[in-house]
Amino acid sequence: MKRKSGTTKKSLVAFGELLLRLDARGHERFVQSESFVARYTGGEANVAASLSQWGIDTFAVSKVPDHEIGQACVNYLRRFNINTDWVLRGPGRLGILYVEAGASQRPSKVIYDRDHSCFRGIRRNEVDWNVILRGKDWFHFTGTAPALGSNVLAVLKDGLRAARRRGVTVSFDCNYRSALWSRDEAARVLESLMEYVDVFIGTHHDARTLFGIDAEPSESAAQLRRRFGFRCVAYTLREGANASVNRFAGLLCDARGCDVSRAYDMQMVDRIGGGDAYSGGLIYALLMRWPRRESVEFAAAAGCLKHSIAGDFNLVSLEEVQQLATTGESGEVQR
Amino acid sequence: MKRKSGTTKKSLVAFGELLLRLDARGHERFVQSESFVARYTGGEANVAASLSQWGIDTFAVSKVPDHEIGQACVNYLRRFNINTDWVLRGPGRLGILYVEAGASQRPSKVIYDRDHSCFRGIRRNEVDWNVILRGKDWFHFTGTAPALGSNVLAVLKDGLRAARRRGVTVSFDCNYRSALWSRDEAARVLESLMEYVDVFIGTHHDARTLFGIDAEPSESAAQLRRRFGFRCVAYTLREGANASVNRFAGLLCDARGCDVSRAYDMQMVDRIGGGDAYSGGLIYALLMRWPRRESVEFAAAAGCLKHSIAGDFNLVSLEEVQQLATTGESGEVQR
Amino acid sequence: MKRKSGTTKKSLVAFGELLLRLDARGHERFVQSESFVARYTGGEANVAASLSQWGIDTFAVSKVPDHEIGQACVNYLRRFNINTDWVLRGPGRLGILYVEAGASQRPSKVIYDRDHSCFRGIRRNEVDWNVILRGKDWFHFTGTAPALGSNVLAVLKDGLRAARRRGVTVSFDCNYRSALWSRDEAARVLESLMEYVDVFIGTHHDARTLFGIDAEPSESAAQLRRRFGFRCVAYTLREGANASVNRFAGLLCDARGCDVSRAYDMQMVDRIGGGDAYSGGLIYALLMRWPRRESVEFAAAAGCLKHSIAGDFNLVSLEEVQQLATTGESGEVQR
Amino acid sequence: MKRKSGTTKKSLVAFGELLLRLDARGHERFVQSESFVARYTGGEANVAASLSQWGIDTFAVSKVPDHEIGQACVNYLRRFNINTDWVLRGPGRLGILYVEAGASQRPSKVIYDRDHSCFRGIRRNEVDWNVILRGKDWFHFTGTAPALGSNVLAVLKDGLRAARRRGVTVSFDCNYRSALWSRDEAARVLESLMEYVDVFIGTHHDARTLFGIDAEPSESAAQLRRRFGFRCVAYTLREGANASVNRFAGLLCDARGCDVSRAYDMQMVDRIGGGDAYSGGLIYALLMRWPRRESVEFAAAAGCLKHSIAGDFNLVSLEEVQQLATTGESGEVQR
Amino acid sequence: MKRKSGTTKKSLVAFGELLLRLDARGHERFVQSESFVARYTGGEANVAASLSQWGIDTFAVSKVPDHEIGQACVNYLRRFNINTDWVLRGPGRLGILYVEAGASQRPSKVIYDRDHSCFRGIRRNEVDWNVILRGKDWFHFTGTAPALGSNVLAVLKDGLRAARRRGVTVSFDCNYRSALWSRDEAARVLESLMEYVDVFIGTHHDARTLFGIDAEPSESAAQLRRRFGFRCVAYTLREGANASVNRFAGLLCDARGCDVSRAYDMQMVDRIGGGDAYSGGLIYALLMRWPRRESVEFAAAAGCLKHSIAGDFNLVSLEEVQQLATTGESGEVQR
Amino acid sequence: MKRKSGTTKKSLVAFGELLLRLDARGHERFVQSESFVARYTGGEANVAASLSQWGIDTFAVSKVPDHEIGQACVNYLRRFNINTDWVLRGPGRLGILYVEAGASQRPSKVIYDRDHSCFRGIRRNEVDWNVILRGKDWFHFTGTAPALGSNVLAVLKDGLRAARRRGVTVSFDCNYRSALWSRDEAARVLESLMEYVDVFIGTHHDARTLFGIDAEPSESAAQLRRRFGFRCVAYTLREGANASVNRFAGLLCDARGCDVSRAYDMQMVDRIGGGDAYSGGLIYALLMRWPRRESVEFAAAAGCLKHSIAGDFNLVSLEEVQQLATTGESGEVQR
């Protein structure tokens, strides 16, 4: 990209696992598949990918196998301009998620094969957070990383403490996966991490499941924010007619109140990754210090657009998100 | 599949022609096609495929060419666990149907090239129904087989008589195709077979065309059931907004009354084969001796889900059909 | 095609540029594309393709590079029965348009790479309009050709004058592209050509942008017709819910009044080329001397069906368009 | 193509069946195939395709089904500039050949499914040979057509008689297929047609099988020529190391002697259709009245190049064949 | 397959792990891959697949995950007629091997990701060898299974003991993989199993590495046979010019001497799986009680043909192998 | 990649045009192509790609269109770890080369469509060579850039002067393309640039065509080196049996003598880009200060391996090249 001097680029560090995503083609079922589309993903890298499209300097901190599949994963991040200097290499495997796209009344399906991954073997002395976080603006993690065992949790805690020390803003996407750990263990571990979090992203279902807050979304977000002293709480609001058509919106609450975004009725290309795209949009808006309403509209538009794109990276331009966020309309063919 | 001891598995025998289905890719028109997707099908085998997914022992009785395309057809059935010990081999060709998927206002199109098939040359002494039907629970055929000439009709009648003798339940999917024979001939031949049929599956259009019963669906089904003394009559109810969106439901009538299932608004992946999937669902429910309402809901859910799957085999699990049949909702991404 | 003696086939000559259209696959974004689908197009050739499917003799007048990509373009026209005897060859390049299909809230995108094309170098002495137009019924051009420089404009004017001399009906599809030239220049040049035009095709947006007529569609068409003395004016009427769903209709005004067609709600396969398909339908109806209402219904049905077909050629049969134009319904699977 | 005035283009009429060729992908075996590549073919059309690439006016005389697969076949010929005005339409099917590409020690495989084709129903009164052959230079047929039943044979004989009357040169490619008819019947029927033939193309195996001439190639060709009074006899000489590597050459004998072409060692892309390409090259050379040696070198080079191209049409330019025929070398990358 | 009464079919039981094989497309490198071809494999299942093509009843004993990828694996075996009644289901993952096809001077590459598989968790009480081996003729295993941990080893030993008790012939393909275990451990464990083995298959490199026998192939095989009292020892002999061209032969020694097969120079489609195909051919020949020379020629021809087929299953017919084994030539196109 | 401290990474700057390479699939001819594989290339970027795989810091200096196709090009470089900070954006088009892979006797074909590119509009004030070359080790350009007009030439000369000032080594790959400019103009312009060049790469054909040196390779290289005072001259030596099989070697001469590498007989996957890969290998060896013989062997091995990889980037590891360079053998499957 053409060097622009004199401006200070914002920056984000994303810590989490990287995975190979293998998609059955089109609407094929797994038992029909003769081949898989291969893309790489990770809840945190997905957020970085969003931001790197919009001019933010992004840095992935992770660990992948020291073989060619690991290299292909690194190259995938590089391709979309995520800095991979801190993607470590080591023995072990790259976790996989198999994805089958649903259609109409048939829901999408994800099979995880991510145990025993190389990333789970990451060690505290491999990650120099003081170097990594120096001069950075934002640190992002999700509820998946703490579920991946004590090694990862220890490295994460180091990172959170370093971020706190350096005044780096911390966002957390709850993203609770019952396949990874029990509700109780998740609640216990995540609760211990909330003190480091400035921006909480999730759903009111997460708030009920993990923190026992049973309220409609706005009230839930407000309670949650107060309980942990978050700077703000952002929820996605989703109503699924079926696997082909969905309704999607966002909610953002801070100390002064809440805003709900426009709701989008979407014909879906890819059901997966909308939450990460929403997080990406939100973080961008907050980095830009936009007002609450503009922020949640931008985040929701980003999340909405992701559903029209295959793969987990939200490959949309700033202008495209802004066009939708501002007007709620997609406009005509662009020539 | 893991051996389960102590349970008696139900079983179904399906007699009918097997064909090669060649699909233009995506929404391509035939005149655009540079390649065809190749799958195998047959109205009766499609029903068997449904049931074999759900743990029923299924047996195809048919005849295919003794060359590699015939072998590929047999392998396709085996892949989805249909027993092919009674798929005979012989000289001749495998019938073909070319399929072009419609979209929006453009309807789907099927070109049949099924004349002179190997199956039409099947001979009575090749099929030992006494061996085949021994210990079996169900026999299924459709209105296509009797249209394929005297050889096939003779073998079919042998099968129906053997089924009667052995107390095997017989289901019939009317599936009238004007391309195969005239209305008058179809009416004459099919009428002569109805005495062997326990479960009639079709539409009220079939009842009007073939049996002169001109009434709204429930009344039509009731009249039809009484005329032939069927144990029950099941109709599919379909309203086609266009080639991309359809509405689908089922109706089931027995001696004690009728039930109409929930209606599904579907975004279509494949318009073909929904009727066979409905038959499969219905037969499963009747084999399980489920109540009428549960049965028609299960059948309709099975038929609905098929429209989200490419190819004629309804590759859905029992749990997936039950989830939809019970709730009418497809639920969220399954992880 | 089987020789039909004793009937006089109608004929159309289409003058304009031919281009290579490179489509990203499925719903891929350009930055995801590892391959492009290659088809050939041209606003005028697209109209010819429609008419050649319906039995009209069509002739493309154009110029392409004398290398294999140029030859592939010529072959593409031949494949769909457009006469290419007057597609000249010469040095230079074939223009390209890159197309990315939108989905849901994400609009489709077209990147033009058509400057410096071989066609722009066409010279007046290469095109013998007296030979080409001899015995022909119709001449079609669009607002793109005059934007391509003085060479093309000079050849076009020769053609228009020859058409006038020989009593060949002339249709013009406005198709204003701000990427090709400014509004002012377009207005000036196009205005000078309107005296040759019998049938004007466009939108009321075109009428406002280029000719300053700011009125609702019917009034706009009537004014436009009167201003230039057109035999008739046809507009497309389009409302875009989003990139996946659109509403489409037509309006046709002649000296005796206006008719608006049925409006179609479409699930889109390809957003591009609907206008050309509408032009094709309209010209066919006018060549057949059908009444105004039948004409606009046929044109709108043709335009509607195109949205269900990938690529710019409207590969539908006369019967398919008539079925939709007459009933407004797509009907069931055709077997 | 740019009009060239003042030159008289040569012309060829090819009479024979058209078929759909379905290829397993790459080196897949039939039982692995999930899709087939679809191309159209016919021993005679293949020859026409060669010649149309080199500027000869070519005309296919045939009959295909009046549905979209038949239309796609016609379009395929048009695409490569074969005139299809005399490709009739009617009821019935389009014959199919399934092709599996061999590799190394595994031979290629062809499964024919061509019985009961629409073409076999062609009737004498449908084909007006006097119109078709008026002003034409060459008539080509192969040994396949006479094997397709009395209808086809009657039409063929009409054509041969008309060619004789009009002084049109007749070439015949023997192409004996034991799958179509017995050796005895083939010998009897073909022998009766040889009086109309000027140019015989085949192999010395054909000469032995059908005409009992058991000699090495040159001697065999000489004997055959004398027996039937052919103007010339051309053989292909093939040695197959295996399915990936072959050796190919040509032999041409006329009244004054024989020439054997250079032999080519080929890495094969497609094993099928080399003979038709050889015929095409030979006929071109004879139409151009080139000397015997130049003719057989051109024919052999054409046949050789075909093995590097998938599908049965030899899509090479005159310059490409001449370059190889002259030098025996393929030269470097052409930029 | 058509029932054949009165003949006793031979049968084979294959115990070993099943894996998902993901191939980069064509000659793509891993870092270029945007998709993977998905097939299923396993050194022992590959042998079963060979034999099932040739009419042997084959039974896979294994364990796969109880999710859809596991099911797809089972279906793959069923498709090629391997009985899967003893493929257990359970928690865990399906091992993967990533394959990149080499070309010319670039070797093929395999990345294993098979740790922590479901199969490694198989338990002795899940496998009832007495039921499985009842009435069976042959038991096959490879050197991979014993490397997969104590669970697998224990089940294997049970099977070997049961085979011994029941007089089932046991074959062993050495197939030493240094990635799975050390040379020392392999030598120790495998040596302990050799007492159960009747037929040893491997290479003289294996004999040197594991058993310290350093001699040219024939001598090595003879020594090895004597050391363990094998009924016979079969080696593959391979010389690799490069990744595109290889030379392949077989050696078979029994108590009365040795035979070396014809050597094949092969253009390679798939480098992987030739050894399993050789084992399959050998076992078939021994089951048929063919003489030593015929046996090794059949085995070598089977191994050779596999290199022309993508994927690990040797999908060739008995006739195809016999044609090559007998003549050493692949013959012409088969029509 | 994990930061390694304490080592000084070498660095290379490559200045030249970037292009979109569109490949017909497999062995398809252009007139058969329904889609093109899209990759990005550039003679200089290809060299950078080689080096970035082996741990050199590489920087592309170029200019691409400010639309998504330009962005996709930038992403392609990033993916393979080429720094794109100095890839400028601007109006205009991205040049294209269409590539058709030859086979056997049919040569590969390249059609250039690279006129009027965005890169040709690059301006001197856009490129700050002092910043770019600061601390860099190597500057690479080819004979293509000076052919692209005065803008590019001026920027190039600035770069060469800056390199000279800063002591950056300069390599030049002659790569004469007659399609771009005449021999005379090329000779005149290139001669004027030779004073800046340290390492000359080309062929003895180039030396004859451009500099009138007509001698066998070693003598030619020696003369050329002396004439311009190059540090060394490297030639590729290629003998093309045909499009499927080629022989390839390298020659390197410096002041003390010449070495010729081992010659490789290659089965070709991609004929294009071997020269760039050879340049990459050579530059790496020279950067590492390896002896002359080791250098030319490494360069030739790199060039050889490229022919087994589709696309212009030589995606091989250092170990892979070294293995081949050292042994001349590709070795067995790597597991």
**What pLDDT digit, counting tens, does each position of D97-121 carry?**
999 999 999 999 999 999 999 999 9
What number is the average pLDDT over the span D249-272? 96
CA distance E11 to chain F (A): 32
Which of B304, B305, B333 is the closest to A108 by Cβ? B333
Mean pLDDT of chain D: 95
Least confident window among A58-72, B202-216, C321-335: C321-335
Q: Does C245 touch chain A (CB under 8 A)?
A: yes
Residue C1 has pLDDT above 50, yes or no: no
Confidence (pLDDT) at E1: 34
Residue with tokens 């318009």: B271
* Token pair in block for residue C293: 């209402």
The CA distance from F177 to F183, in Å, is 9
What number is the average pLDDT over the span F194-212? 97
Confidence (pLDDT) at B137: 98
Which one, of F266, F66, F52, C333, lies nearest residue B238 by Cα? C333
Confidence (pLDDT) at C332: 81
Q: Does E75 touch chain B (CB under 8 A)?
A: yes
Span E63-86, pLDDT tens digits:
999 999 999 999 999 999 999 999
What number is the average pLDDT over the span B188-192? 96
Confidence (pLDDT) at E10: 97
| Contact criterion met (CB below 8 Å) for B250 and B237 | yes
Please tell me which chains touch D, using 3 or more CB pairs under 8 Å as the contact test: B, C, E, F
HSE value, Cβ hemisphere, 13 Å, CA-based, for C172: 29
How many beta carbons lie within 10 A of that of residue E33, not counting itself? 21
The CA distance from B76 to E80, in Å, is 9
φ/ψ (deg, to 5) at A310: -80, 140
Q: In CATH, what is the architecture of D43-62+79-85+127-325? A: 3-Layer(aba) Sandwich (3.40)
- Please state, in angstroms and as integers, the Cα–Cα distance from residue F193 to each residue in C162, F209, F214, following that order: 56, 17, 21
D-chain residues within 8 Å CB-CB of C88?
A: 2
Span F150-199, pLDDT tens digits:
999 999 999 999 999 999 999 999 999 888 999 999 999 999 999 999 99
Neighbouring residues of B112: CB distance < 8 A, sequence distance ≥ 6: B95, B96, B97, B98, B179, C335
Q: Angle CA(A212)–CA(A215)–CA(A216) in degrees, nearest 5?
A: 140
> What sign does the CA torsion over B217, B223, B224, B230 have?
positive
The CA distance from D248 to D238, in Å, is 5
Whether domain E11-324 has CATH 3.40.1190.20: the reply is yes
Pick the CATH number of C11-325 from 1.10.260.40, 3.20.20.70, 3.40.1190.20, 3.90.650.10: 3.40.1190.20
> What sign does the CA torsion over E175, E176, E178, E180 have?
positive
Confidence (pLDDT) at A7: 58
The CA distance from D23 to D38, in Å, is 7
Contact A79 F75 (CB under 8 A): yes
Q: What is the ipTM of this complex?
A: 0.95
Residue A19 banded pLDDT, cuts 50, 70, 90: very high
The CA distance from C296 to A281, in Å, is 46
- DSSP SS3 for E274: helix
Confidence (pLDDT) at B333: 86
Q: Angle CA(E114)–CA(E120)–CA(E125) in degrees, nearest 5?
A: 160
Q: Running DSSP on this structure, what letter comes out for residue E198?
A: S
Confidence (pLDDT) at B8: 76
Confidence (pLDDT) at E5: 44
D-chain residues within 8 Å CB-CB of C89?
A: 1-2
* Token pair in block for residue A162: 């370093």
Q: Does B29 touch chain C (CB under 8 A)?
A: yes
Residue C4 has pLDDT above 80, yes or no: no
B-chain residues within 8 Å CB-CB of D72?
A: 30-31, 33
Which of A31, A115, A116 is the closest to E72 by Cβ? A31
Burial F299-327 (b: 16+ CB within 10 A, else e): bbbbbbbbbbbbbbbbbbeeebbbbbbee
Residue E316 has pLDDT above 90, yes or no: yes
The CA distance from F204 to F136, in Å, is 30
The CA distance from A214 to C111, in Å, is 50
Contact F240 D330 (CB under 8 A): yes
Residue A71 banded pLDDT, cuts 50, 70, 90: very high
Confidence (pLDDT) at C7: 58
* Token pair in block for residue B175: 């599936």
DSSP state letters, C240-283? ESSSSEEEEEEEEEETTEEEEPPPEEEE-S--TTHHHHHHHHHH
What number is the average pLDDT over the span D175-203? 95
Residue D255 has pLDDT above 60, yes or no: yes
Percent of chain B with pLDDT over 90: 93
Confidence (pLDDT) at D333: 86
Residue A3 banded pLDDT, cuts 50, 70, 90: very low
Residue A310 has pLDDT above 60, yes or no: yes
F-chain residues within 8 Å CB-CB of C100?
A: 68
Contact A31 E75 (CB under 8 A): yes
Q: Does B320 touch chain D (CB under 8 A)?
A: no
Residue A151 banded pLDDT, cuts 50, 70, 90: very high
SS3 track for chain F: CCCCCCCCCCEEEEECCCEEEEEECCCCCHHHCCEEEEEEECHHHHHHHHHHHCCCEEEEEEEEECCHHHHHHHHHHHHCCEECCCEEEECCECCEEEEECCECCECCEEEEECCCEHHHHCCHHHCCHHHHHCCCCEEEEECCHHHHCHHHHHHHHHHHHHHHHHCCEEEEECCCCCCCCCHHHHHHHHHHHHHHCCEEEECHHHHHHHHCCCCCHHHHHHHHHHHHCCCEEEEEEEEECCCCEEEEEEEEEECCEEEECCCEEEECCCCCCHHHHHHHHHHHHHHCCCCHHHHHHHHHHHHHHHCCCCCCCCCCCHHHHHHHHHHCCCCCCEC
Residue C2 has pLDDT above 60, yes or no: no
Residue B157 has pLDDT above 50, yes or no: yes
| Contact criterion met (CB below 8 Å) for A54 and A302 | no
Helices marked H in D229-327 — which ranges?
274-287, 292-306, 318-327
Confidence (pLDDT) at F95: 98
Which of D307, D331, D335 is the closest to F110 by Cβ? D335
Which residue is closest to B268 within chain C, CA to CA? C267
Residue D5 has pLDDT above 70, yes or no: no
What number is the average pLDDT over the span E270-279? 96
What number is the average pLDDT over the span F279-289? 98
D-chain residues within 8 Å CB-CB of C80?
A: 75, 78
CATH superfamily entry for domain F16-323:
Ribokinase (3.40.1190.20)
φ/ψ (deg, to 5) at C211: -120, 5
Q: Angle CA(D52)–CA(D54)–CA(D57) in degrees, nearest 5?
A: 40
Contact F31 C68 (CB under 8 A): yes
| Contact criterion met (CB below 8 Å) for C110 and C98 | yes
Neighbouring residues of D131: CB distance < 8 A, sequence distance ≥ 6: none
CA distance E231 to chain F (A): 30
Interface of F with E in 206-235 (CB under 8 A): none
Mean pLDDT of chain A: 95
DSSP state letters, D6-62? S----EEEEE---EEEEEESTT--GGG-SEEEEEEE-HHHHHHHHHHHTT-EEEEEE
Beta strands in D157-231, from DSSP E residues, in sequence order: 169-173, 199-202
Q: In CATH, what is the architecture of B43-63+124-325? A: 3-Layer(aba) Sandwich (3.40)
* Domain spans in chain B, listed from the N-terminal domain onward: 43-63+124-325
Which residue is closest to A29 within chain E, CA to CA? E68
A-chain residues within 8 Å CB-CB of C109?
A: 333-335
Residue F6 has pLDDT above 50, yes or no: no
Contact A84 F1 (CB under 8 A): yes
Which one, of C174, C165, C231, C169, lies nearest residue C201 by Cα? C174
What number is the average pLDDT over the span B237-241? 87
Residue A197 has pLDDT above 70, yes or no: yes
Residue F24 has pLDDT above 50, yes or no: yes
Percent of chain A with pLDDT over 90: 92
Confidence (pLDDT) at D2: 38
Confidence (pLDDT) at D86: 98
Residue D8 banded pLDDT, cuts 50, 70, 90: confident
The CA distance from B125 to B63, in Å, is 13
Percent of chain A with pLDDT over 70: 98
Confidence (pLDDT) at A6: 47
Which residue is closest to E53 within chain D, CA to CA? D31
Which one, of B268, B273, B269, B329, lies nearest residue B301 by Cα? B329
Residue E179 banded pLDDT, cuts 50, 70, 90: confident
Q: Angle CA(B206)–CA(B212)–CA(B214) in degrees, nearest 5?
A: 80
Neighbouring residues of E226: CB distance < 8 A, sequence distance ≥ 6: none
The CA distance from E250 to E282, in Å, is 10
- Please state, in angstroms and as integers, the Cα–Cα distance from residue A114 to each residue in A150, A173, F6, F235, following that order: 16, 19, 35, 50
Span B55-80, pLDDT tens digits:
999 999 999 999 999 999 999 999 99
Q: Angle CA(C50)–CA(C54)–CA(C56) in degrees, nearest 5?
A: 90
Confidence (pLDDT) at D7: 58
Confidence (pLDDT) at D332: 80
- Please state, in angstroms and as integers, the Cα–Cα distance from residue B282 to each residue in B140, B230, B326, C269, following that order: 12, 15, 15, 34
Instruction: Characterise C204 by phi-psi region: left (phi > 0), alpha (psi -120 to 50), beta (else).
Output: alpha
Residue F240 banded pLDDT, cuts 50, 70, 90: confident
Contact B333 A271 (CB under 8 A): yes
Span D211-243, pLDDT tens digits:
999 999 999 999 999 999 999 999 999 997 788
Which one, of A95, A97, A94, A22, lies nearest residue A65 by Cα? A94
HSE value, Cβ hemisphere, 13 Å, CA-based, for B207: 25
Confidence (pLDDT) at C240: 80
* Token pair in block for residue C97: 């348009």
Which one, of F93, E186, D261, lies nearest residue C112 by Cα? F93
Mean pLDDT of chain F: 95
Pick the CATH number of A11-322 from 2.40.420.20, 3.40.1190.20, 3.30.390.50, 3.30.505.10: 3.40.1190.20
| Contact criterion met (CB below 8 Å) for B97 and B113 | yes
Residue E4 has pLDDT above 90, yes or no: no
The CA distance from D168 to D161, in Å, is 10
Which one, of A132, A142, A136, lies nearest residue A87 by Cα? A132
Confidence (pLDDT) at E294: 98
Neighbouring residues of E319: CB distance < 8 A, sequence distance ≥ 6: none
D-chain residues within 8 Å CB-CB of F105?
A: 264, 266, 301, 304-305, 308, 324, 329-330
Span C189-204, pLDDT tens digits:
999 999 999 999 999 9
| Contact criterion met (CB below 8 Å) for D37 and D83 | no
The CA distance from F115 to F180, in Å, is 9
